[in-house]
Chain A
Amino acid sequence: AQKVTQAQTEISVVEKEDVTLDCVYETRDTTYYLFWYKQPPSGELVFLIRRNSFDEQNEISGRYSWNFQKSTSSFNFTITASQVVDSAVYFCALSDHNYGQNFVFGPGTRLSVLP
């Protein structure tokens, strides 16, 4: 069975600090996909990034970066120079290759960025 663990329930940082959100996954599939979503206080769920299991290249988008390591089954998310607007719940998710079944979300990490 597929599983996503986000061990950090809540994190608080002061604005401009860097913060890393951890995500560890379990799957028996060799082909799978990993995702990060953001849920700000307004409640909507916003897709941030997708990563394929065969592409371990790290990705950077502005202040956001993602580190995918198959050897440790981790897909961590780093926010550099955090801002108050980054305050949200962040979900890591895992999908298999079969029609998107078993799209499993982790429990989420609540990030609070204090001014």
Chain B
Amino acid sequence: DSGVTQTPKHLITATGQRVTLRCSPRSGDLSVYWYQQSLDQGLQFLIQYYNGEERAKGNILERFSAQQFPDLHSELNLSSLELGDSALYFCASSVGQGNSPLHFGNGTRLTVT
């Protein structure tokens, strides 16, 4: 158990809809990362937060947004969903230093129909 909690585990929704994915980092970790993994693909970095502030941005679509709250949990909002957004979305946390490994949650599997 990595200590990172992601909810929900599975999400099935229709095109055009909006969903929110939630992540609780490990106790003591200040940094949260979001990654997207499409079928048989690698890990695409979306966005990173550190202690409530956006720290780095990857190839995140404009339809997607995220935030990290004062209690350090994070939410990833996906709107105007398309079929191609179907993927496994991972949250990871770390203490926020460069040498800190990322600890991943079990992911949220999003299916857009």
Contact = CB atoms under 8 A, between A and B. Distances in A.
Contacts of A107: 42
Contacts of A98: 98
Interface in B31-82: 31, 33, 35, 42-43, 45, 48, 50, 55-56
B23 interface: no
B48 A101 contact: yes
Interface residues of B, number: 26
B96 A100 contact: yes
A105 B103 CA distance: 14
Given A44-B106, A45-B90, A33 B42 contact: no
A91 B43 contact: yes
Interface in B12-39: 31, 33, 35
Interface size class of A (residues with CB under 8 A): 20 to 34
Given A31-B98, A98-B98, A99-B31, A104 B45 contact: yes
B104 A101 contact: no
A35 interface: yes
Contacts of B56: 101-102
Contacts of B43: 45, 91, 105, 108
Instruction: Return the 4 tightest CB-CB contacts between A and B, nearest first.
Output: A97-B98, A45-B104, A107-B42, A101-B56
13 contacts: A31-B98, A33-B98, A47-B101, A47-B102, A47-B103, A50-B99, A99-B50, A99-B96, A100-B50, A100-B98, A101-B48, A103-B48, A108-B43
